[in-house]
Amino acid sequence: MDTNLQSAFHLSQLAHPLLKASGAGNIVFVSSITSVVSVNSQFAVYAASKAAMNQLTRNLACEWAKDSIRVNAVAPWFIRTPLTTPSLDDENILKEVLNRTPMRRVGEPGEVSSVVAFLCLPAPGFLTGQVICIDGGMSVNGFSMG
């Protein structure tokens, strides 16, 4: 909770005056797909902290809109990083990840960073309070008959 939620809250509180003074600030939190969809593993506290971050995103977006500060979050699924490599090297885990992902592949870091960069541009100026899943369709994947 300290790392995932409290640090996001406290850092955003510290940044608020500077972002307000800039006249057009942006905060982009990094959440997780586990905040949106259960992955049936040992991540209950992690998932809960990220779900709380999603709600923090929504509340700060409403609270700080008057200050021209947009607040959004990205929620990645499996992205190929040093942290996920041990899991993805396990054939059983990789198979399960790919089976749950309609695009049938793992995401790449640039696919997350490009969304974060976009959110910081002026172009999405009316976009705030959103949690954007970067998951190859995993979060919207329904039951498959085959």
User: Please, are residues 53 and 31 in contact by the beta-carbon 8 Å criterion?
Assistant: yes
Q: Which position among 9, 43, 46, 118 bears the catalytic label?
A: 46
139 is catalytic: no
Beta carbons within 8 Å of 139's beta carbon, 6+ residues apart: 33, 36, 37, 75, 77, 133
Quote the DSSP letter at residue 134: E
In one-letter notation, the amino acid at residue 44 is: A
Catalytic residues: 46
